[in-house]
Structure formats: C-alpha cells, structure tokens
Amino acid sequence: MSVIIEKETDFTADFDVDDIVCQVAEGCLEYENCPYEASVSVLFTDNEGIKELNSQYRNIDRATDVLSFPMVEYEKPGDFSILENDESICECFEPDTGELLLGDIVISVERAKEQSQEYGHSLKREIAFLVAHSMFHLFGYDHMEEEEREEMERRQREVLDRLGITR
C-alpha cells in the first residue's frame, strides 16, 4: 500500500505520525479484505485550511476534524467487485503502479488536538481514529442513519483494537 502524506501545518507529536497513519490505513485495507494494492493521500492542515475545503466542496462554512474524498462510488460499502465489472472505473487505478486510488483524507491537526483533550485520550489515538473513520468513508461507508453509524463505529473500533490503539 502507498500512503502519501503531506503536511500544510507544522506540528510535533510524541509518536511517529507517518507510521501511525500507514498502520491504520493498512489495517483498514486488510480488515475490508481489499483484493487490490491501494493508494491513499493524507493531508494534515489547520482549522482554516479544512474550513476552506469544507466551504469549497460541501458548502459548510466551518472547520471539521476530517474530510474524505473517495475516488470510487460503491454500490455497496466495501464491495470491491464493482471494480471488476465496470470498465469506466479504470480511472480509479494508478496507471504506473496498478494501485487502486482510494481517495484523499484531510485532517485538521488543530481539531484533532482539541478532540483528544475533549475525549480524554492521546493525540495518537485521535489521529488513528480519524484515519480509520476516513478510510471507511473511502470504502463507501457512511453514518447518516443510526444503523450505518453503528456499523461504521464497530469497524473503526475493531481495526483500532487489532492495532492496540485504544482509549
């Protein structure tokens, strides 16, 4: 798996941020039994940066913790078989490597720090959670309905538990 990490904002952490992002992204991919090598881009920004993206792409004029921009529109969450049956989907594969381009994740470091304090856990756990949450969005999961929310939360929790990243 390829994980491209960019940082628009400087921040320090008492853990290897890149390593945690990669571990969680790979853990989610394994959990979903994705049959493809895959690639994801992760951007760390500040509240102003994520507010701009929210405004531009979602018409929401406020900062949020994380944004997900999936490349694939799944008929059923986590069902990768759509990629085998739809030739128009080829644009979702990187031509040089053949990797499935899952999409982009944008995380507000400021918001992640605020939430880690709010929820009483480490910044490492909060960033890991936000990556897992966003990865499941990139697999087509959502949390608009109660049942969807419960399913997504269960998946996130199980991945983080497998990695030993708990509250």
- Whether residue 41 lies inside any domain: the answer is yes
Provide the pLDDT for residue 118.
95
More confident position, 107 or 72: 107
Provide the pLDDT for residue 87.
57
In the chain, the number of structural domains is 1
**Domain of residue 58, residue span:** 2-162
Provide the pLDDT for residue 167.
77
- Whether residue 99 lies inside any domain: the answer is yes
Q: Which residues contact 10 (CB under 8 A, 6 or more apart)?
A: none
Of the listed ranges 18-27, 77-86, 107-116, 141-150, the least confidently predicted one is 77-86
Q: Note the pLDDT tens digit of each residue in 122-135.
A: 999 999 999 999 99
Q: In which residue are the tokens 């920004």 written?
A: 45
Provide the pLDDT for residue 91.
80
What CA–CA distance (Å, rounded) separates 76 from 133?
17
Provide the pLDDT for residue 84.
80
- The domain spanning residue 148 has which CATH number? 3.40.390.30
Question: In the predicted model, is pLDDT for residue 88 greater than 90?
Answer: no
- Whether residue 36 lies inside any domain: the answer is yes
- Whether residue 167 lies inside any domain: the answer is no
Question: In the predicted model, is pLDDT for residue 8 greater than 90?
Answer: yes
Q: Note the pLDDT tens digit of each residue in 29-52.
A: 999 999 999 999 999 999 999 999
Question: In the predicted model, is pLDDT for residue 77 greater than 60?
Answer: yes
